[in-house]
Amino acid sequence: MSGAQVRLDVTDGVATVVFDNPPLHVWNAAMTRGLTEALDAVENDPSVGVVILTGAGDRAFCAGSDIVEFAPMRAPGEAVAKKLRPQHELFARLAAFPRPVIAALNGHTLGGGLEIAVCCDLIVAEEQISIGSPEITLGVFPGSGGTFRVARRIGTGRAKEMQLLGEPVDAATALAWGLVNRVAPRGGAVGVARELADVLLRRPPRATVLCKSVIDAAHDLTEEELIERSLAASDEAFTSAESAEGVRAFLAKRAPDFRARSVSTVEPVSSVEKETPA
């Protein structure tokens, strides 16, 4: 995949995407292509229920953009056309991916690395890492969605502290702020992410996607629109084979087997979106 800078492994229903551009996996055009190819492969693989993103080795998840790529993009509009718009399109796709995505931050997560992480549904950070948005020190700012996605997770005040000062925070602070969901010991991020993936694999796939779609719309729709979105999603969930299995299992005092009763491919929530008022 694009010079092996992005690797993909699928095992037991979990797709693990590994950034491998040593030493710090700085983000470049080849990695944008590589992650696009990985998402294409995962989306077309019905065996995959959860995606994990991580970095190779133990130094970085992704330490930001490849600064060498900046030099040919000095003319007005060139950075947008050559770098930022393609990244926006990819990161928006990752944020809306129709299966749960977990970021396993096994090393420093800076700049574009944080922009990728906050596209994921859940984030696990190792205790020793730094997380930050240092772009302001280069005379720019997070241009691929990091501004609004970080603000949605931790609020505008803390997002401004991170991005206007450009100073990183440690994993404990990131957890206290709600930027990450779990802190793992050194070397443990992928293991904790896999534990979360195993739980998600036991959950009903369609209901999971429907729930995710309503949460993701929380900052984009009015309350009235969110109510309609939630009602439409709930109607689909309540009338599904997954719900019937969940009720049967509850009454029989056994664990539900949602995967055997779900369609093989989980589609995006387009049917629910059509029910939402404009």
Just list the catalytic residues: 115, 135
Structure tokens at 252: 């029989």
Determine what percent of the chain falls in helix, strand and coil, rounding each to the nearest 5: 50, 15, 35
**5 touches 21 (CB < 8 A):** yes
CA distance 1 to 248: 44
14-19 and 50-55 beta bridge pairing: parallel
Neighbours of 151 (CB within 10 A): 18
For 22, 56, 247, 248, 251, the CA distances from 244, given in Å and listed in that order, are 48, 42, 5, 6, 11
